[in-house]
Amino acid sequence: MILTGLMQNKPLLISGLLRHAATYHPDVEIVSCLHGGEMRRSNWATVARRAGRVAARLGELGLAPGDRVATLAWNTDRHLELYYAVAGTGAVLHTVNPRLFPEQIAYIINHAADGIVFFDLDFAELVVRLAPQLTTVHRFVALCRPDQLPALDLPGLVSYETLVDEGRDDYDWPEFDENAASSMCYTSGTTGNPKGVLYSHRSTLLHSFAACAADGLALTARDCVLLAVPMFHVNAWGVPYAAAMCGARLVLPGSGLGGDRLFAHLRDEGCTLSLGVPTVWLGLFQYLEQAGASVDASALRLQRVVIGGSAAPRAIIEKFERLLGVFVIQAWGMTETSPLATIANLLPKHDGAPLEARFAVQSRQGRAIFGVEVGVFDADGRRLPHDGKSVGEIRVRGPWVLSGYYGNPPDSALDDDGWFSTGDVAFIDADGYVQITDRSKDVIKSGGEWISSIDLENAAMGHPQVREAAVIGVPHSRWQERPLLIVVPKPDAVIDRAGLLDFLAARVARWWLPDDVVFVDDLPHTATGKLLKTRLRDDFRGYRLPTDTD
Ligand code: ADP
């Protein structure tokens, strides 16, 4: 018979994170960039006090445990306060991605049955336009002071600062089951309708421990973090919670993610760590290249940059290291995995490795962190070995991996062994590093073999004249599909098809070489900054490759 342990069964609650940060790191700053570039300086004690006041006031206004509350908001201290205020009461914070199509925003707010919408003034017009379709929303809160509140025709409209002013200081964070839902995010729905992922207090806290672990993101009280991943993108990768756990300083850039703004924050606030999707970093390096000698990169204290959301191009990893002395940590995950699942930290065997070898390791998506089991499976559901070559679909399981989508029963998204299928295609090497080769719907199937669009994109992005690259499979009468490379050249680039193919020929297998190259001014992206391959495939439907002569 199992003997039950005699340890305290204290629930893991998000309010506990805030209480901890306010007690042990009260003066640690939370810096927010406002419109016009002005910086507002708060700290963990103030965030905790104001979150408590908002929680108290929301309770008086009828917010009940389990109720859903939406935000359409940038990265600011107010949004951070809402992360804690809403979840801390037992209600659920639904961070909505304002870059989605308006119809998708209406769909997910209705699907989640959100009762209150908090919005930044930038989204006032959008909210007014959507309001008649939002069947469950009874109150709108504008994230501003009362004197900034525009006269909008919205039910129950009030300013956020009014809620703070009306709240009490003696709010007692309630204690409840750690499995209670705390926040929710919808997948961006690049195929079909968006689906809701419902995180719990327990999953969020366990995920925070992983973010703080030395072989996780190693977030500590000595870090100043520039959060360049939006707080509406999978809980900003968990950093708003993990930062409270360890007492890190946060710099929240508001809506400005341009290279110039990011560089200024990194420099002026002395940031040691930053996180963002590859496109954000492309913007930073474009700014640095254009600004040239007029910026002093040696003024940065930046040590680490976490890149995820899409494959980190090797060219970016190299630039961070060689130009800025910054170590890139690639991480892989998805909305359904909270998101951290694998992290590309180094092992002792890489000590003293030549830079080139180290870049190769950093270009992989990383090793499973404790808490997430990661396996690669073939089409028949057999688990494949970690041999660096057996390619299959990644499945994951663990306490911060989804079990069923919102509205569906628990475990309904899992197979009989409890695995969640990610739709990502990868191999795992002998050291356990995962290498994503594609999303299953993006992989190029050529003559019975698979070509990795990510590898080709990565190689093309290594060309000094290429700003961004995408590769899609185009039907081919002989090979079934062949790769088409679509390139955005840098401004003033001198680059042609033959030169680019020569460059690639030295870097990828011969039969992987794209059958054609197209130059464009821009590539379509999803609301979370990934290449929108569905659109590219539509745009190039019917495209005839020069090699397709049948
Ligand atoms: P959505 O699936 O709605 O676009 P997510 O943010 O959940 O939004 O995206 C998760 C997907 O992003 C993963 O399944 C994977 O395809 C891709 N991804 C995330 N991180 C990486 C990475 N480091 N390398 C390659 N692909 C990544």
* Domain C-terminal end among 410, 439, 468: 439
Among candidate residues 279, 294, 227, 211, the one with its CA nearest the CA of residue 488 = 279
CATH number of the domain where residue 453 is located: 3.30.300.30
Both tokens of 448, joined, read 């019975």
Element holding 534 (H helix, E strand) = helix 533-539
**Residue 264 within a domain:** no
Q: What is the pTM of this model?
A: 0.91
Shared domain for 382 and 241, answered yes or no, is: no
What spacing in Å lies between the alpha carbon of 530 and ligand 1's midpoint?
Answer: 8
- What's the pLDDT score for residue 189? 61
**Residue 302 within a domain:** no
Residue 328's contacts (CB-CB under 8 Å, 6 or more residues apart) are 304, 305, 306, 307, 312, 316, 317, 320, 321, 362
Shared domain for 425 and 455, answered yes or no, is: no
> Which range marks the domain in which residue 213 is found?
47-169+178-246
Strand order in the sheet with 373-377: 373-377, 392-397, 420-428, 434-439
Shared domain for 434 and 447, answered yes or no, is: no
| 437 in catalytic set | no
Shared domain for 228 and 106, answered yes or no, is: yes
Instruction: Give how far the C-alpha of residue 250 lies from the chain's centroid of Cα atoms, to the nearest Å.
Output: 17
Shared domain for 70 and 212, answered yes or no, is: yes
35 vs 182: which has the higher pLDDT: 182
Measure Cα distances from 192 to 32, 275, 359 in Å.
Answer: 35, 29, 36
Strand order in the sheet with 29-33: 39-43, 29-33, 249-252, 224-227, 273-276, 304-307, 327-333, 340-343, 367-368
Pocket test for ligand 1, best of 108, 237, 307, 310 (most atoms within 8 A of CB): 310
**Residue 120 within a domain:** yes
Atom number, ligand 1, closest to the C-alpha of residue 186? 3
Quick check: 84 and 241 in contact, CB under 8 A? no
What spacing in Å lies between the alpha carbon of 424 and ligand 1's midpoint?
Answer: 8
- From 76, 187, 272, 528, active-site residue: 187
- The pLDDT confidence band at residue 327, using thresholds 50, 70 and 90, is very high
Pocket test for ligand 1, best of 436, 438, 471 (most atoms within 8 A of CB): 436
Section 350-365 average pLDDT: 97
Atom number, ligand 1, closest to the C-alpha of residue 335? 7
* Domain C-terminal end among 246, 276, 306: 246
φ/ψ of residue 316, rounded to 5? -75, -40
- From 336, 457, 468, 481, active-site residue: 336
Shared domain for 73 and 208, answered yes or no, is: yes
Q: Where are the alpha helices (DSSP H) in 180-238?
A: 201-212
**Residue 357 within a domain:** no
**Residue 210 within a domain:** yes
- Percent of the chain at pLDDT > 90 equals 87
CATH number of the domain where residue 93 is located: 3.40.50.12780
Shared domain for 232 and 208, answered yes or no, is: yes
**Residue 528 within a domain:** yes
Atom number, ligand 1, closest to the C-alpha of residue 187? 3
Pocket test for ligand 1, best of 316, 424, 427 (most atoms within 8 A of CB): 424
- The pLDDT confidence band at residue 191, using thresholds 50, 70 and 90, is low
Give the number of domains in the chain: 3
Shared domain for 240 and 93, answered yes or no, is: yes
Does the pLDDT at position 156 exceed 90?
A: yes
What spacing in Å lies between the alpha carbon of 22 and ligand 1's midpoint?
Answer: 33
| 336 in catalytic set | yes
Atom number, ligand 1, closest to the C-alpha of residue 330? 23
The length of the chain in residues reads: 550
| 237 in catalytic set | no
| 450 in catalytic set | yes
Shared domain for 526 and 384, answered yes or no, is: no
The C-alpha atoms of residue 203 and residue 337 are separated, in whole angstroms, by 10
* Domain C-terminal end among 246, 279, 303: 246
Shared domain for 95 and 207, answered yes or no, is: yes
**Residue 323 within a domain:** no
Atom number, ligand 1, closest to the C-alpha of residue 189? 3
Shared domain for 162 and 53, answered yes or no, is: yes
Predicted confidence (pLDDT) per residue in 101-155, tens digit: 899 999 999 999 999 999 999 999 999 999 999 999 999 999 999 999 999 999 9
- From 103, 175, 220, 445, active-site residue: 445
User: What is the CB < 6 Å shell around ligand 1?
Assistant: 187-188, 190, 234, 308-312, 330-332, 334-335, 365, 422, 424, 436, 439, 526, 528, 530
- What's the pLDDT score for residue 176? 98
**Residue 88 within a domain:** yes
- The pLDDT confidence band at residue 10, using thresholds 50, 70 and 90, is very high
CATH number of the domain where residue 395 is located: 2.30.38.10
Shared domain for 386 and 484, answered yes or no, is: no
